[in-house]
Amino acid sequence: MRTLSFLLPILFLAPSVHSEGVGDWRGPSGLDRIRGVQTLLSSPSGLYTLGGPALRRLPPGKTRWEILHLAKGRNLYRIAVDDSGRVLASWEGEKVFHLLTPRTKGHKTFPKPVRAQGQKGYYSLDGLYFSKDGACAIVTMQEEAGNQSWILSAYRYRLDGKSGPEQLFRQAGYKLYVSGRAAVFAVPKDPKTPCNHNGCWPIASILAYEITPTGVVKRTLLSGERDNLSSIRGVGSVGEEGLAFVVSEKPEARGLLTWRFGEAANYRGLSLGPTGDPERAWWTRTGELVEFWMKGAEFEEKLEVKRRLPGGGVRSVTLGPLPPGDPDVSPDPKIHSIRERKNGDLLVHWGDYLVLLSAGKPPRHLNIEPMLGRMDEWASADIYAPAQESIWLGVEVGAGRDFVRLGLDEAEKRAEPF
């Protein structure tokens, strides 16, 4: 976080920040900066924006962002993209979602699911996804269940429009993962227990719904019958066909839960570290669990990177402390993001530095603080774009958000060993 270490009197009023397309005073977007969006979605058909009235795309090899659809006065808050470039999109305040086919300029709309008769309280579109075969849209709706708990319902729409929505499931609990292939939930033993990102102990079970062409298959991935499961967090995917989660148990234990779609789940214990849980963790495509442990005194933090190998054994290296930065800015020890490149290297956004962890090379770091304005902050929302071999760094700018591009070829040349 960018905070000045001294106070200045307020001598001016800054203009308010708007999403681009409704008066963005900071100038237009370009190849290296996209302005006024919430996040980006990277796909083989290009980069897509989320947030603001316009759905924008930067196709591979092109130099200009194009507008695929504009809903003036509304905010684009859900999208999904398939490999061919078709887009599912929804704007706040609309009763429909859109199917856009840029290649043929096709545009269809479908009514959003409506709440059941007698149902009250919050009810809103949660997500849009393409089914695995691309023939359907999977639409999820979230409703408030009371006491900080939620219920998620999933519906299937045939995109040829020949049939109405089919409800696939309705599940209470904490949503851990949702896609067009599956949904995973932590379900509390007592329905009245608050269940959110802070946990929902005691957890009765980790439930999964696998979406198939004929319906859904419900699975119990892990049982909490001993009242031992206290929290769970996702750490990455098992290839493109499954998921990985780190589970915390009471009184003091941890485990790794992995699940490949169509198969039974696997669970194995993990040793505890000196402080219980790591700061962050990542499951790589090669089956390594990489944990990041913060060590040392304040402002002199070091980062221990511990790799748990698929065949057993652990490799570790300690990085830092990071070089001193701008003396007028408080040091930033936070891990903002972890991303895995298509070649298997890891990108770790740690404070004002990008750390490169590459096989066969010593860990390196690159100072990315110059990409921030004086009062800007990192948004902890970085996006890796494999087609560009770039990372787009999210930056909070006043009341808005920009993304700035860092080419990884250039980063490789400029990065220095610790």
Inside any domain, residue 360: no
pLDDT at 176: 94
Q: How many CB atoms lie within 10 A of CB 268?
A: 9
Helix (H) / strand (E) containing 183: strand 182-188
What is the CA angle 390-393-396, rounded to 5?
160
Residue 311 tokens read as 């065949």
Domain that holds residue 260: 112-270
Inside any domain, residue 354: no
Task: Please state the length of the chain.
Answer: 418
Inside any domain, residue 187: yes
Inside any domain, residue 53: no
CA 222 to chain centre: 23
Inside any domain, residue 215: yes
Contacts of 296 (CB under 8 A, 6+ apart): 302, 320, 321
Total of domains in the chain:
1
Q: Span 341-360, mean pLDDT?
A: 95
pLDDT at 274: 60
Q: Which of 25, 29, 2 is nearest to 14 (CA)?
A: 25
Can you point out the beta strands (E) in 284-371? 289-295, 302-308, 314-319, 335-340, 346-350, 353-357, 364-367
Spatial separation of the C-alpha atoms in residues 242 and 239, rounded to whole Å: 6
Q: Span 38-45, mean pLDDT?
A: 94
Q: Span 184-211, mean pLDDT?
A: 88
| Confidence grade of residue 25 (pLDDT, cut at 50, 70, 90) | very low
Question: Contact at 8 Å (CB) between 360 and 345?
Answer: no
Inside any domain, residue 323: no
Contacts of 235 (CB under 8 A, 6+ apart): 244, 245, 246, 281, 282, 283, 289
Inside any domain, residue 255: yes
Residue 336 tokens read as 């903002």
Spatial separation of the C-alpha atoms in residues 59 and 48, rounded to whole Å: 9
pLDDT at 137: 97
Spatial separation of the C-alpha atoms in residues 315 and 305, rounded to whole Å: 8
Question: Which residue type occupies 147?
Answer: N
The average confidence (pLDDT) of the chain is 87
Q: Span 227-252, mean pLDDT?
A: 86
Say which residue, 357 or 30, is predicted with more confidence.
357
Q: pLDDT for 136-153, tens place per residue? A: 999 999 998 777 678 999
Spatial separation of the C-alpha atoms in residues 100 and 89, rounded to whole Å: 8
Contacts of 23 (CB under 8 A, 6+ apart): none
Order of all β-strands in the sheet with 215-223: 174-178, 182-188, 203-212, 215-223
Spatial separation of the C-alpha atoms in residues 171 and 77, rounded to whole Å: 23
Q: How far is CA 60 from CA 48, 388, 389, in A?
A: 11, 8, 12
Q: Which of 340, 295, 344 is nearest to 316 (CA)?
A: 295
Spatial separation of the C-alpha atoms in residues 397 and 379, rounded to whole Å: 9
Q: pLDDT for 310-332, tens place per residue? A: 888 899 999 989 888 766 667 78
Residue 307 tokens read as 């790799």
| Confidence grade of residue 236 (pLDDT, cut at 50, 70, 90) | confident
Inside any domain, residue 264: yes
CA 70 to chain centre: 25
Give the residues across from 147 on adjacent strands. none
- Rounded (to 5) percent helix, strand, coil in the chain: 0, 50, 45
